[in-house]
A and B are shown apart, each in its own frame.
Chain A
């Protein structure tokens, strides 16, 4: 095959401006051949920039903190519970929610590529997709958490979820102390993306 060596383009040394030109050339080629519609490309970018993101996941978490029945449904069938709030649907990859407690801390990774619960968290950050995190999360999660400034007590059990199939994992963080009087909206504003991956706790 003429093209079975994907290294024939010299990607590693390509400065960003050259990549930008190459992408532009590819786009115009595919548009001219009638393979892609530029308006569809715009709509896809718009979707990922504005429609999905960790605010969706934060609303799921805040609901679970304030509604015990919803929390039970989320832990039983997160795909359906997330769809209840209008995010994703049953056509998406199934989602499993894993709950942090004082005794258990969950951490999500994809060692083979970059699998991530897009409907609730949007696109993953660069560090999640990068070699240092992907390689070390499964062998030294405590060291990884320490790099994020999170130190767990020695008796906390760590559960690492390596997303090797089409199931996606969402961490349900612990509700911070002193938040009894907060509304669901106020709670959602406290929930960070990192807490839903498992590299941070939610703090007031």
Chain B
């Protein structure tokens, strides 16, 4: 989805503003949003790719104006409602609808402390052999999916080289839309600065991305 979240290569977003001695959470609510997101994720009503896509669907002007945890909050609210776990009315009132059922939380403090509620790795075994070999030249496809994708615009159509094969991993373009994990081979792909940014590129070197096989074609 060609939205503002896919911002690699843009200029004009302003200065980078590192803070000395930055706190982990600037305000208490930020930590609560992170915790609510993790705890609600344990309900297994959506996956990581759906969570990312919910944030990406925040309209551009609002996305750019929000802080990081404001985006998480918006994404969480979207998912709670879309999954049917809460109604828009409950969200607006901050209280359950009268007579609504009460569940048992799947994630306990003890599980958090024992780290036993992790979502696990995204690598999967598949039968299909990888189509590309280390050192092979590939081109990132010029595709513009309407839904979720992890292929940034700035590499589409560009020529790169396979640097490493990571095995097969859950394919976000499918998983974000509830169409199953559809694992595909994942590669580290290197693009030269000149290929991406032209002969007057501002630096000498490479940009490396991790790209799924459906994003690539033989060069």
Contacts and interface: CB of A to CB of B under 8 A. Distances in A.
B5 interface: yes
A48 B34 contact: yes
A164 B203 contact: no
A90 interface: yes
26 contacts: A3-B77, A12-B66, A24-B29, A30-B39, A32-B95, A33-B103, A34-B103, A36-B107, A37-B109, A40-B108, A43-B113, A45-B32, A48-B24, A48-B25, A48-B34, A91-B118, A92-B118, A93-B122, A112-B6, A136-B13, A138-B196, A139-B196, A158-B193, A158-B203, A162-B209, A167-B166
A166 B169 contact: yes
Interface stretch (A63-71, A140-148, A173-181, A183-191): A140-148
B61 interface: yes
Given A40-B105, A165-B150, A4 B82 contact: yes
Nearest to A114: B68
Contacts of B211: 164-165
B108 A37 contact: yes
A140 to B, nearest CB: 5
A157 B70 contact: no
Given A7-B59, A11-B66, A133 B16 contact: yes
Contacts of B28: 20
Given A11-B65, A112-B152, A32 B96 contact: yes
A130 to B, nearest CB: 7
Interface in B1-52: 5-11, 13-19, 22, 24-29, 31-36, 38-40, 43, 52
Contact of A162 (B58, B108, B152, B205): B152
B219 interface: no
B212 interface: yes
B85 A35 contact: yes
Contacts, number: 298
B88 interface: yes
Given A3-B88, A4-B82, A30-B40, A158 B57 contact: no
Given A135-B11, A160-B208, A113 B102 contact: no
A194 B21 CA distance: 12
A139 B40 contact: no
Nearest to A111: B8
Contacts of B109: 37, 39-40, 42-43
B62 A11 contact: yes
B81 to A, nearest CB: 4
Given A34-B102, A111-B152, A127-B16, A29 B7 contact: no
Interface string A152-173: 0011011111111111000000
B216 interface: no
Contacts of A130: 13, 16-17, 68
Contacts of B43: 35
Given A3-B88, A39-B109, A162-B209, A148 B29 contact: no
A166 B167 CA distance: 12
Interface in B155-205: 166, 169-170, 186, 188, 193, 196-197, 202-205
Nearest to B150: A164
A102 interface: no
Given A24-B29, A33-B85, A160-B207, 14 more contacts: A2-B81, A6-B54, A7-B59, A19-B73, A33-B96, A37-B108, A37-B109, A42-B35, A44-B38, A92-B118, A127-B16, A132-B17, A138-B9, A158-B193
Given A93-B121, A158-B205, A112 B9 contact: no
A161 B11 CA distance: 18
